[in-house]
């Protein structure tokens, strides 16, 4: 099965256009796509802040080291919001048309290029609580537990999870998804689930869309 993935631009000008387009589409289709009003309010406010600071930092009359740093801080915050939005509301959402997904820079991992075998190791995942209502997906590989590096040719760690009991009997009982392309990815929860248990399973997905074996059950409490 092909996996949906996306790439957030690293250039501030490209990111400016990327975030504006994504947020505009999500605002228009929030109800149809199951995106909460609270989620859109937060990301829209942070987008407005970034766009204002972007304009100041990119204006030759107001450009300065301090204004550029302020733009970059707003940029970093908005990237976190966009990652959460894509991972939890956009990817694998069957209510979003193929045309809208293409407009939001979503594409698929396929078998193109060289043939890469499916991963044979498993992610070793811990869910760290560093902020209220947020868990961080930290991973290492079962073959190299001393580092946070993914195996060669692996694109991301796919984490399937559910909130609150009963505990799942396998990944198929977990309706939520998170694609962690790097260790320490954030999962943001609604305030009402604080104190509840998160249950999940993880596996590696390589650059051809092939998946490795599932990990054992992973649990954590939403802080």
Do 15 and 105 share a domain, yes or no? Answer: yes
Do 9 and 92 share a domain, yes or no? Answer: yes
The owner of tokens 């560093």 is 130
pLDDT, residue 174, reads: 93
Do 169 and 142 share a domain, yes or no? Answer: yes
pLDDT, residue 93, reads: 86
Do 73 and 131 share a domain, yes or no? Answer: no
Do 63 and 128 share a domain, yes or no? Answer: no
DSSP-derived secondary structure for 28-87: HHHHHHT--HHHHHHHHHHHHHHHHHHHHHHSTTT--HHHHHHHHHHHHHHHHHHHHHII
Q: Does residue 31 form part of some domain?
A: yes
Would the pLDDT of 162 be above 70? Answer: yes
Note the pLDDT tens digit of each residue in 117-157: 889 999 999 999 988 988 999 999 999 888 888 888 888 89
Note the pLDDT tens digit of each residue in 56-93: 998 889 989 999 999 989 998 999 889 888 888 888 88
Do 86 and 33 share a domain, yes or no? Answer: yes
Neighbours of 173 (CB within 10 A): 14
> What are the CA-CA distances from residue 146 to residues 2, 93, 150, 158 (Å)?
31, 35, 12, 20
Task: Say whether pTM exceeds 0.85.
Answer: no
Would the pLDDT of 187 be above 60? Answer: yes
Could you tell me if 154 and 119 are in contact, meaning their C-beta atoms sit under 8 angstroms apart?
yes
Do 85 and 14 share a domain, yes or no? Answer: yes
Residues 6+ apart with CB under 8 A from 143: 121, 151
Residues 6+ apart with CB under 8 A from 187: 84, 87, 88, 127, 134, 135, 136, 137, 159, 161, 178, 198
Q: Does residue 114 form part of some domain?
A: no
Could you tell me if 188 and 133 are in contact, meaning their C-beta atoms sit under 8 angstroms apart?
yes
Would the pLDDT of 190 be above 70? Answer: yes
Question: Phi-psi category of 184—alpha, beta or left, where left has phi over 0 and alpha has psi -120 to 50?
Answer: left
Report residue 2's pLDDT band, with 50, 70 and 90 as the boundaries.
low
Look at residues 109, 134, 163 and tell me which one is the last residue of a structural domain: 109
Q: Does residue 116 form part of some domain?
A: no
Name the 3-class secondary structure at 147: coil
Do 95 and 128 share a domain, yes or no? Answer: no
Could you tell me if 142 and 122 are in contact, meaning their C-beta atoms sit under 8 angstroms apart?
yes
Look at residues 87, 109, 131 and tell me which one is the last residue of a structural domain: 109
Q: Does residue 142 form part of some domain?
A: yes
Q: Does residue 118 form part of some domain?
A: no
Domain range for 198 is 123-221
Do 149 and 105 share a domain, yes or no? Answer: no
Query: Cα(59)–Cα(75) distance, rounded to whole angstroms?
Result: 17
The total number of structural domains in the chain stands at 2
């Amino acid at each position: 099965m092909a996996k949906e993935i996306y790439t957030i631009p690293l250039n501030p000008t490209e990111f400016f256009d990327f975030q504006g387009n994504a947020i505009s589409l999500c605002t228009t289709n929030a109800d149809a796509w199951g995106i909460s009003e609270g989620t859109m309010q937060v990301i829209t406010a942070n987008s407005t802040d970034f766009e204002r600071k972007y304009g100041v930092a990119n204006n030759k009359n107001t450009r300065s080291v301090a204004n550029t740093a302020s733009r970059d801080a707003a940029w970093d915050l908005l990237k976190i919001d966009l990652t959460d939005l894509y991972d939890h509301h956009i990817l694998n959402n069957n209510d979003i048309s193929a045309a809208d997904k293409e407009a939001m820079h979503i594409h698929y991992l396929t078998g193109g290029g060289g043939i890469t075998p499916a991963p044979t190791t498993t992610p070793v995942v811990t869910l760290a609580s560093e902020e209220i209502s947020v868990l961080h997906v930290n991973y290492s590989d079962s073959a190299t537990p001393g580092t946070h590096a993914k195996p060669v040719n692996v694109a991301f760690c796919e984490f399937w999870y559910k909130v609150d009991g009963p505990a799942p009997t396998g990944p198929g009982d977990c309706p939520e998804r998170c694609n962690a392309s790097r260790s320490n990815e954030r999962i943001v929860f609604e305030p009402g689930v604080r104190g509840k248990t998160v249950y999940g399973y993880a596996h590696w997905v390589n650059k051809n869309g092939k998946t490795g074996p599932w990990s054992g059950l992973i649990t954590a409490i939403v802080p």
